[in-house]
Structure 1
Amino acid sequence: MALNASLNKFKNELSDAATRNAQYSRPTSTAPARTGTPKLGDGAKRTHGTAFSNSQPAPAAPTNTLHSGGAGGELMTQVWNSVNYLKEKSPQSITFDYLISYLSLPVDAQKNIPLIKRILSTHDRVTYLSRSESGTGKESFQYRPFYPITNAEELKEYMGIAAQRTATGIPVKDLKDGWPDCAASLDRLEREGFILVTRQKKDNAPKTVYPDSPSYHILNPISQLPQKADTDFVDIWAKTKLPGSEIELRNALEAARLTPTSQVKEVQRGMQKKKERRKVNRKGGKTTNNHMLGILKDYTRK
C-alpha cells in the first residue's frame, strides 16, 4: 500500500512539472523542415523544386522610369519609332499630333507625350518647326539628314560651296541618309562633269563624291558633254613610268643636271672667310659749339 501511494504521488508531481514547463517552452519554428537526402538504395532523386524549396524568392526588378504600359510603352522606343517615321517621310514635315496618332500609344503611356515632344525638340537628327514655321498652324517635326541634300540641284549647289572650302568628299552612304535613290542622279552628274565619283571595285557602286566643274573639261561640240582624252595622250601617259625607288629618282634627277632635295649639302670651310668686324671709335672727343660763338660766354679760363 505504501508503494502504491508513493507511485501515485510521483506521477502527480511529474504531471504538474510537465504542465509548468509547457508554459515556458520555446515557440516552434514555422519554417518547413529540410528534406533529407535520400539514400542510394531508396531509388528516388530530388527534383529541382524540392532541392531549392527553402530558397528565398528573387527580389522584384526595379521599375524603370522610361518604361510604362508594357508593349509599346518604352519611351526611347517611341522616340526611335518617331525618328524612323520622319526619316521615311523626309523631306516632308509631320505635325506632332499626326505623329502621336501614328505611334498608337496605349492608354497608360499617354503620359509620355510631353517627354516625346521634349526629346524630339532637342534631337540632333530632327528639326523642330514652330506653328509659324510649319505653315500648317501646328507644331511639326522634320528629319534632319547628315547633309542638306535631297536632289541633284542641291548637290550641285553644295558641291560648288564645298569646292571653295575643302576638297573632302561626301560618302555616298551618308548622302543616302537624306537622298536614298541618288545612284541614278550621281551617274548623270558624273557624265555632265559636275562631280567626281570613286566606285567600289566589286560592283562599281558609287563610294565617295567629290566636287568638279564642266569648265575643267574639254566639251564635245555636239553633245556639250566632257569628252575623253585623245588616245595618243592616254598612250603617252600610260608609257611614262616613274622611278621605282628613291635611288632611281635621284639618279634620274642628277642625270638631268637637277639637284635632288635629298642630297646632302657639303659646306667647304676654305671658301668661307670670316669677316673682320670693324672697330667703332667710341672715345669722346672735344666738342665745341662753333655756331654759338657770339652768344655764349667763354668760361674756359675758369
Structure 2
Amino acid sequence: MSFLKANSAVRTNAPSPTPSNTSAGSSKRKRPADGAPPVVYSQPMDTGTGEHVFTRLTYVNDYLRERKDKWHSFDEIMGYLNIPPGHVQREQLRVLMRTANDANRISWDSANEKYRYRPKLNVLGPEGLKAYLQSQKSSLGLSIKDLKDGWATVADDIAKMEDKREVLVQRNKDGVAKTVWMNDPSLMLPMDAGFAKNWHMVRVPNTAEELRKALLSANMKAATKAKVIVPGTGQKKRKAIRRNGKQTNTHMAGILRDFSGMRK
C-alpha cells in the first residue's frame, strides 16, 4: 500500500518455543504429589485391528492346535476371543467353524456342540502310524512335516521305531527325518558270514571300459562297444569364406566394383 514505506516495515518477534515462567498468565507445572491418581490422557481411537471375523477364525485354529488333546465348547472358545453374547461375529464364527472343506482345520461334534483341531493326518502316535501305513493301498511315504501337525513328538518317536526296524526313514544331509515308510522286520534276515565275505571280495570295475572287458572275458555280451579313435590326417580344415547373404544385384554386375579379392 502507498502509505507503507520500505524502511518502516512492522517487525513481530517469533514466539518462544518454551514460554517464560515470568510471563503474565503463565504458571509453572508442579510435580504430582505422592499418592495422587495418575493423569489419564486421551487415547487413540480403536482401529479394529485383529477384530475381523477371518482373523479371529485364525486365532481359533491356533487356540485349538495348542490344545488339540481334548474337545472345547463354543462358549469356551468365545470366551478366549472375548466375544460377548449377542455379538454378530458369534454366529458368523459358528458357521465358519462348522464348514466342511479341506482348508478348515476344525472338527465339529454335532452331538455335544464341541470343537477340536483337525490335523492334516489323523495320526497321533506310533500305533496309529503303523495302522495308517498298513491300510494304504500304495507304498507312498508320509511326510514328517504333515505328521507333526497333529503329533508333536513325532521326531523322537520315529527314531525309536526306526531302532526297532518298524519303519524306514529318509533323512536329509543334516540327519533330520523327512519321510517315513512301513517296514517288515520279519523280512530282514541275517546274512551268512561266508557269503558276505565272498561278496565283499568281488572287485567292481572302476570304468565302463574295464566292465566291458570283464564281461567279454566271462563270455558275456556287453551292452557297449569299444571306443574307436579315428586317426586324423593332420591337416587343418580350411574355414570356408562366409558370404554375407544372397547376392541380389546380379543385373548391376557390370557397374558395381568387386572387392572380394581384398579380403584377408
- Fold match (TM-score > 0.5): yes
Q: CA deviation at 1:79?
A: 0.9
How far apart are the structure 2 equivalents of 1:88 and 1:235?
A: 54
Residue-pair matches, total:
178
**Matched residue, 1:182:** 154
**Which structure: larger Rg?**
1
Matched, 1:206 2:177: yes
| % identity of equivalent residues | 27
1:116 to 93, 101, 119: 93
Q: Is the Cα contact below 8 Å between 1:169 and 1:209 reproduced in 2?
A: yes
Q: Is the Cα contact below 8 Å between 1:194 and 1:214 reproduced in 2?
A: yes
Q: CA deviation at 1:126?
A: 2.2
How far apart are the structure 1 equivalents of 2:90 and 2:124?
A: 30
**SS at 2:150 equivalent:** coil
Q: TM-score normalised to the size of structure 2?
A: 0.56
Q: Where in structure 2 are there 5+ consecutive unaligned residues?
A: 1-45, 226-264
Distance 1:258 1:90, change over 3 A: farther
Distance 1:231 1:78, change over 3 A: farther
Paired amino acid for 1:252? A
Distance 1:257 1:150, change over 3 A: same
**Matched residue, 2:138:** 165
How far apart are the structure 2 equivalents of 1:239 and 1:119?
A: 67
Q: Is the Cα contact below 8 Å between 1:72 and 1:106 reproduced in 2?
A: no
Matched, 1:191 2:163: yes
Matches of residues 59-70 of structure 1 in structure 2 within 5 Å? 70=48
1:78 to 56, 76, 82: 56
Q: TM-score normalised to the size of structure 1?
A: 0.50
Distance 1:170 1:127, change over 3 A: same
How far apart are the structure 2 equivalents of 1:128 and 1:91?
A: 12
Q: Deviations over 1:118-173 (max 9, x none)?
A: 222235242433432xxxx22x22222222110110011112233x512x222222
**Matched residue, 2:221:** 259
Please identify, of 77-86 and 254-263, the stretch whose mean Cα deviation from structure 2 is larger.
Answer: 254-263
Paired amino acid for 2:217? A
Matches of residues 10-89 of structure 1 in structure 2 within 5 Å? 70-89=48-67
Q: Is the Cα contact below 8 Å between 2:78 and 2:84 reproduced in 1?
A: no
Matches of residues 280-299 of structure 1 in structure 2 within 5 Å? none
Report the aligned-residue RMSD: 3.2
Q: CA deviation at 1:94?
A: 2.2
How far apart are the structure 1 equivalents of 2:212 and 2:57?
A: 63
Q: CA deviation at 1:181?
A: 0.8
Paired amino acid for 1:145? P
Q: Is the Cα contact below 8 Å between 2:145 and 2:178 reproduced in 1?
A: yes
**Matched residue, 1:155:** 129
**Matched residue, 1:215:** 186
